[in-house]
Amino acid sequence: MASAPPASRPRWDHVPEPVRDAVESRQGAPVGGIDYPGGGFTPGIAARLTFADGTRVFVKGITLDDPTARHYEVEAAVGPYLPHTVAPALLWSIRTAGWLLNGYEDLPGTMPALSPTSRDLLPRVVHPLPAAAGRLVGGPGWRGRGARGQGVVMSERRDRRRLHARARALGIPVEQVDRRAAPRHRPVRPLPEPAWPRTELPDRDDTRVTTQPVRSASPAFCCPITHDRQVLDGGTVMLLTRHTAGCPVWSAR
C-alpha cells in the first residue's frame, strides 16, 4: 500500500464531495485513513478506506461517462452472487453524482507474479482454478444442459438480436419468427473414401519413401501416363503424375 495512487488513478479527495458523503453515510462513519494499492487495469480510483469505527473497505470507482465504466457495472451486478470462497464480498454499490463506486470486503494479500518462471504461478493462480470453477456452478441464471449441467442462459439482449436477425433473413415480421432455438449442430455427412487403395503408413522410425503405382498406362489425350502415390515419413502423401518421355505436349515445352 502507498500513501499516493499511481499517476493514472485519482486520489480520494479528487472524488466529488457528494460521492464521498454517500460512502460515509452508507458506512455510518467518516473516513479516517486511506491507502492506495498498486496495479490494476482501469483508470478509476482504487483505495483501501479505514473508517473511524475501525472497519476497512476496498473501494473501486469511476465516472459513468468513462468507457470502462461498464466493467464496474458488471462487477456490481455479478458481485452479490459470487461465493465468498472465490471473491471478496461486495458490501455495497453506490451510483451518484455521475460516479459509480463499489465497496468490497478488505482482504490481506499481494499481487501474484505472472511471469512464466514465477513461483506464484502454480500455487496461487493455476492450482486454485479447478476449485473455483466447481464453486461457480449453479448460480443464478444457470441452466443445465446435458448430464453435466453445462451452459448458461444467454442474455435477453443477445436473444433479441438473434431474433431480429432471423426475421431479416426470412423477410418476415419478428412476431412470426419461431422463437425456439435453432439446433446448434447439424449432422455432417462423412467424406467419401478415396479412389486409390489404402497403403500402410511407414513406421515413424523408418525414413524410407513408399511408392505404389495406382494406375498404370492410363489413357490420356497426350500420352499414356502413370499415377503414383508416395507416402513419406510422418504420413504425408504425395500424388505424382508421370508422362512418357515422348509425350508431344511435354516435349514441346
**C-alpha–C-alpha distance, residues 145 and 166, integer Å:** 24
Is position 86 within any domain?
yes
Strand, coil or helix: 158: helix
Q: Which of 88, 105, 122 marks a domain boundary?
A: 105
Q: Domain range spanning residue 220? A: 210-251
Read off the pLDDT of residues 159-192 as tens digits, 9 standing for 90 and up: 777 777 777 777 888 778 776 555 444 555 565 5
Is position 126 within any domain?
no
CATH of the domain at 20: 3.30.200.20
> What's the number of domains the chain is made of?
2
Overall average pLDDT of the 25-53 stretch: 91
Is position 64 within any domain?
yes
- Residue of 201 and 131 predicted with greater confidence: 131
Which positions ≥6 away from 218 have C-beta within 8 Å? 224, 225, 226, 227
Largest CA-CA distance found in the chain, in angstroms, rounded? 101
Is position 168 within any domain?
no
pLDDT tier at 124, thresholds 50, 70, 90 = confident
Q: Which of 62, 81, 105 marks a domain boundary?
A: 105
Q: Supply the DSSP symbol for 190.
A: P
Is position 139 within any domain?
no
**What are the φ/ψ torsions at residue 22 (nearest 5 degrees)?**
-65, -35
Is position 78 within any domain?
yes
Is position 184 within any domain?
no
pLDDT tier at 204, thresholds 50, 70, 90 = very low
Q: Which of 52, 85, 105 marks a domain boundary?
A: 105
Is position 225 within any domain?
yes
Q: Name beta bridge partners: 225.
A: 218, 243
Place of cell 458481485: 79
